[in-house]
Amino acid sequence: MSNILITIYMWNMRMIAKPFYSIKKLLTIIGFSLLFFTTTVYAQNSTSSPYSYYGLGELNQNASGNSISMGGTSLAYRDGGVLNIQNPAALAQVDSLKFIFNVGMAAKYTNLNQGNKSDYFNDYNLTRLAFGFKVSPRYSTAFSVSPYTSLGYEITKREKVIGSESYINRSLKGSGGLNQLTWSNGVKVTKNLSLGINGIYLFGNNARDEIITMETGSSYVYKNNSKLISKGVYFNLGAQYQIDLGKYDFTLGAKYQPKVGVDAEQIIKVTNYSSGIGAVRHEDTDKGSFDVPESYGLGFGLKKGKQLWIGGDYLFEKWSDTEVFNKNSSLKDRNKFSLGMEYKANDGYARKFLKKMTYRLGGFYDTGYVTVEDEKINSMGVSLGFGIPMAQNGGMINVALEFGISGTTNNNLVREDFTRITVDINLFEKWFVKRKYH
């Protein structure tokens, strides 16, 4: 009898301790990933686009691998194993037995074309680090870190000095970017309606350098080094409403973000140098803010059974109404359209590997928020991807491929032909499940 009691006691202790071992393991993974993410963010550029010179830089999307594979479609998408932070209302559908850990990585290959010239760049970076879980039957939460904007340009211009026959060489270089730490919350209000909110802390810095030298024998050099350092908070709201249409489920998704001024500090260092007078330096620090634009999005999703999902999104961002340190930003309103579909080949009885996978397809058109030489820098592309399930329902590996074009060669501008590969890994840790022994 004593042996039986000891066995039962040891089994109960293992069941009590197991969640703590799981949490410790997950926190270790999260800690190392955060360290790697922070090191990557500050160690390299995540873009090589010359258009990142304008505005706050190249805009990034805090999207899951599922969404990226479907052209960025996400506002009406909901799945128990996906952290859809683009619309926090979708978090209300997270599986109650899963702690979800998500990490995304991307490689972008870009061919820049200008007239009869071309150049080729590769960029590699982490796109998102997130984890989330269901707190109660109606409430779920998630935390994530992702890039918001990226700078990574090197531009050299040869310009004639007005009123002279001399020329100058102007070199422009940008690096860094802004990142967002997001706390997402989703609540199931009724059987059909879910609401959500993202609280976002924006941080990071945009570093811009300008160097001017005379092309002749003059020793004159002008340097302008500026940094925009951000530490501010803003938020956005989301909603999803599901309608049962018999064989189909129809979901409406919506998102709204008010215009908010984010606290920032701008540091400018100017150096004038010539052999006659030496170096003259000037430094100025200005504290102020820049605006995150008012925006809204609408989306729909149509689901048939547990296998087929089709949806589309429209996103509007009012950048023309934003200011940077009380000065008009001179940016343009952004409109983005996307369509996507997902097919889960596994009907619950699949044995072959290919029939256990998930397949996705999509496309997008984005007008962008920058205009150069009266040309709006828009982008368009198609995407496809697939999800590979891990053994014992331990997670999903999502691979997305995007093929797109950004910019134009009109007015001697640059067109970017790009291919981006994103690998997004979802790891599931089961909670609150008791093992059965016979």
Chain segment 160-170, per-residue pLDDT in tens? 878 777 888 89
Give Cα 166 to chain centroid, integer Å. 45
pLDDT given at position 157: 85
Close Cβ partners of 163 (under 8 Å, ≥ 6 residues apart): none
Is the pTM here over 0.75, yes or no?
yes
The residue type at 337: F
Distance between CA atoms of 346 and 314, rounded to whole angstroms? Answer: 30
Instruction: Give the pLDDT confidence score for residue 98 in this predicted structure.
Output: 87
| Model confidence pLDDT, tens digit, residues 306-344 | 899 999 999 999 999 999 988 898 999 999 999 999 999
Which single residue is written with the structure tokens 């170096």?
279
Higher local confidence (pLDDT), 438 or 269 = 269
Give me the pLDDT at residue 210, please.
92
CA dist 198 and 236 (Å) reads 5
**For position 217, what pLDDT does the model report?**
66
Distance, in Å, from the CA atom of 215 to the CA atom of 255, rounded to the nearest integer, reads 52
For the chain, percent of residues with pLDDT exceeding 70: 86
Range from 131-135, 297-301, 347-351 carrying the lowest mean pLDDT: 347-351
Q: What pLDDT does 216 receive?
A: 77
For residues 394-422, average pLDDT:
94
pLDDT at position 160: 82
Q: What is the mean pLDDT of residues 206-213?
A: 92
pLDDT tens across 18-34, in order?
444 455 555 555 554 55
pLDDT score of 281: 86
Tell me the mean pLDDT in the region 423-434. Answer: 78
Mean pLDDT confidence for 147-155: 92
Q: What is the pLDDT of residue 40?
A: 47
- What is the average pLDDT score of the chain? 86
Q: What is the pLDDT of residues 43-68, one digit of tens each?
A: 445 788 999 999 999 999 888 889 99
Cβ neighbors of 56 (< 8 A, separation 6 or more) are 148, 149, 178, 206, 290
Q: pLDDT at position 202, please?
A: 95
**Where residue 384 falls among pLDDT bands split at 50, 70, 90?**
very high
Residues 388-398 pLDDT 10s: 998 877 889 99
Closest CA to 176 of 266, 52, 33, 63: 52
Residue-level pLDDT at 1: 45
pLDDT band at 431 (very low <50, low <70, confident <90, very high): low
Residue with the bigger pLDDT between 342 and 10: it is 342
Can you tell me the distance from the alpha carbon of 127 to that of 118, in angstroms, rounded to the nearest whole number? 27
Confidence of residue 436 (pLDDT cuts 50, 70, 90): low
- The Cα 79–Cα 121 span in angstroms is 35
The amino acid at residue 153 is: Y
Whether residue 6 is predicted with pLDDT greater than 60 in this model: the reply is no
Homologous superfamily of the 44-430 domain (CATH): Outer membrane protein transport protein (OMPP1/FadL/TodX) (2.40.160.60)
Residue 151 · residue 207 · CB < 8 Å: yes
- Would you state the pLDDT for residue 280? 81
Residue spans of the domains in the chain: they are 44-430
C-beta contacts of 5-11 below 8 A and 24+ residues apart: 11/437
Place of tokens 């128990």: 80
What is the pLDDT averaged over residues 409-430?
92
Bigger pLDDT: 363 vs 10: 363
The contacts of residue 232 (CB under 8 Å, 6+ apart) are: 201, 202, 260, 261, 262, 263, 264, 289
Q: What is the pLDDT of residue 13?
A: 36
Query: Distance between CA 267 and CA 228 in Å, rounded?
Result: 7
Locate 340 and state its tokens: 């996507």
The pLDDT assigned to 432 comes to 57
CA distances from 52 to 48, 242, 328, 368, 407 (A): 8, 39, 18, 11, 12
Q: Given a cut of 90, is residue 366 above it in pLDDT?
A: yes
Average pLDDT over residues 211-222: 81
CA-based torsion, 209, 212, 213, 218: positive or negative: negative
Q: In the prediction, which pLDDT does 219 show?
A: 75
How far, in Å, CA of 181 to CA of 201, rounded?
A: 5
Q: How far apart are the C-alpha atoms of 140 and 185, rounded to whole Å?
A: 6
Distance CA 373, CA 143 (A): 40
